[in-house]
Amino acid sequence: MQTFEELLEESTRVHGHICAGQVIGVRMSLLALSLIKIEDPRGVDRKKFCIYVEIDRCATDAIQSVTGCSLGKRSMKFLDHGVMAATFVNLETGKAVRITALEEAREGSKLYCKEMEDKYVRQLEAYRIMPEEELFKVEHVKVEIPEADMPGRPTRRVQCEGCGDWVQDHRDVEKDGRILCRKCAEGFYYTLEDE
């Protein structure tokens, strides 16, 4: 595997700029992968694990960059909880860890880079060197992943009886005896406009 600095450089390129969230995401990924025993995440181990991310912020781009997991490969799942946390699951062994970035690390960064006035620069630099236990809370967890959520080919494809869209992976809804997509069953997140 690449070094921390190489991974951070690649993550920064993918994300578009360097920030404390990139450092957090890279360190979180390295810690989690070691704990669930994934040694080559973008190579031979790429189909052996998946990740649940709980926030759509900078660290998620870093996690994707380091691990190679993505929504499109179905190896990354997004749960919109607004928490700087991710759960890494080894699909072969079932071993899983949820790692949360500790809020206290923001204040703790002052102990490591006290000469830096700008808090964002201070956090960026401090997060590189702070001990893992000051940056993260690690919880060993169990995750039951439904077959329909596993990476790989779709297990089911049906056509919505409302709008005609094709729905994959058991995301369809039965309502009033009809098979519908979620937007037809629960409402759209958008409104149609005339061109």
- Map out the domains of the chain as residue ranges: 4-146, 153-186
What integer pLDDT is reported at residue 177 of this predicted model? 96
Say yes or no to pLDDT of 1 above 80: no
Residues 68-101 have pLDDT tens digits of 999 999 999 999 999 999 999 999 999 999 999 9
Tokens representing residue 187 in the block:
């409402």
Q: Does 153-186 match 4-146 at the fold level?
A: no
Amino acid identity of residue 191, one-letter, is T
Please give the CATH number for the structural domain made up of 4-146.
3.30.1330.130
pLDDT band at 139 (very low <50, low <70, confident <90, very high): very high
Residues 34-57: what's their mean pLDDT? 97
Q: What's the rounded mean pLDDT across residues 146-154?
A: 89
Q: Which fold has domain 153-186?
A: Wheat Germ Agglutinin (Isolectin 2); domain 1 (3.30.60)
- Which band of pLDDT confidence, cut at 50, 70 and 90, is reported for residue 114? confident
DSSP one-letter string for 38-95: -S-TTTTTTTSEEEEE---SHHHHHHHHHH---TTTTSEEE-----SEEEEEETTT--
Alpha-carbon distance of 190 to 164, in angstroms, equals 17
pLDDT value of residue 153: 87
* Lookup result for tokens 């759209």: 188
pLDDT of residue 112: 92
Average pLDDT, the chain: 95
- Residue 192 pLDDT level (bands cut at 50, 70, 90): confident
pLDDT band at 152 (very low <50, low <70, confident <90, very high): confident
Query: Average pLDDT for residues 153-174, to the nearest whole number?
Result: 94
pLDDT at residue number 191: 86
Percent of residues, the chain, with pLDDT higher than 90: 89
